[in-house]
Amino acid sequence: MSLTVPSTSSFKAVGQKRWLLPFSLTVPLIRDPPGIENPTSHTKNPLKWIGAIRFYLVYANSLVFQQHLDRPSFILNQCKTMSLTGRIHSIETCGTVDGPGLRFVVFTQGCPLRCLYCHNPDCREVTGGREVTVEELMEEIDRYASYIKNGGVTVTGGEPMMQPEFVTELLHQCQLKGIHTAIDTSGYVTLEAAKPILDRADLVLLDIKSFDPTIYRRVTSVSLQPTLNFAKHLQAIGKPTWIRFVLVPDLTDPRDNVAGLAEFIGTLDNVERVEVLPFHKMGEYKWEALGYPYQLQNTPPPTPEAIANTVQQFEKRGLTVVV
162 near ligand SF4, rule: CB under 6 A: no
118 near ligand SF4, rule: CB under 6 A: yes
CA dihedral 186, 188, 192, 196 (to 10 degrees): -20
By CB neighbour count within 10 A (0-12 exposed, 13-18 middle, 19+ buried), where does 313 fall? buried
C-beta of 245: minimal distance to ligand SF4 in Å?
A: 12
Question: Torsions phi, psi of 219, nearest 5?
Answer: -70, -40
120 near ligand SF4, rule: CB under 6 A: yes
Which helix (H) or strand (E) is 182 found in, with range?
A: strand 181-185
Q: Cβ distance 154 to 106 under 8 Å?
A: yes
Q: Which is nearer to ligand SF4, 118 or 276 (CB)?
A: 118
Question: Torsions phi, psi of 227, nearest 5?
Answer: -70, -40
Q: Cβ distance 283 to 235 under 8 Å?
A: no
Q: What is the rounded distance in angstroms from the CA atom of residue 215 to the CA atom of residue 257?
A: 8
Which among 36-44, 69-77, 151-159, 258-266 is the span making contact with ligand SF4, rule CB under 6 A?
Answer: 151-159
CB-facing half-sphere around the CA of 257: CA atoms within 13 A: 21
Q: Which is nearer to ligand SF4, 83 or 186 (CB)?
A: 186
The residue within the footprint of ligand SF4, chosen from 28, 99, 158, 164 (CB under 6 A), is 158
Q: CA 150 → CA 139, 179, 273, distances in Å?
A: 19, 9, 19
Q: How many residues bind ligand SF4 (CB under 6 A)?
A: 11
Q: Which is nearer to ligand SF4, 42 or 119 (CB)?
A: 119
Q: Which is nearer to ligand SF4, 6 or 158 (CB)?
A: 158
111 near ligand SF4, rule: CB under 6 A: yes
CA nearest neighbour of 113 among 184, 35, 15, 34:
184
Which stretches of 95-163 are DSSP H helices? 134-143
Q: Which is nearer to ligand SF4, 111 or 171 (CB)?
A: 111
Q: What is the rounded distance in angstroms from the CA atom of residue 291 to the CA atom of residue 131?
A: 24
The residue within the footprint of ligand SF4, chosen from 12, 18, 68, 114 (CB under 6 A), is 114
137 near ligand SF4, rule: CB under 6 A: no
Please report, as a single letter, which amino acid is at residue 65.
Answer: F
C-beta of 158: minimal distance to ligand SF4 in Å?
A: 5
C-beta of 120: minimal distance to ligand SF4 in Å?
A: 5
The residue within the footprint of ligand SF4, chosen from 52, 82, 88, 113 (CB under 6 A), is 113
Site string for ligand SF4, 183-222 (x = CB under 6 A): ---x------------------------------------
Residues of the shown chain interacting with ligand SF4 in the complex, contacts defined by CB under 6 A:
111, 113-115, 118, 120, 123, 157-159, 186
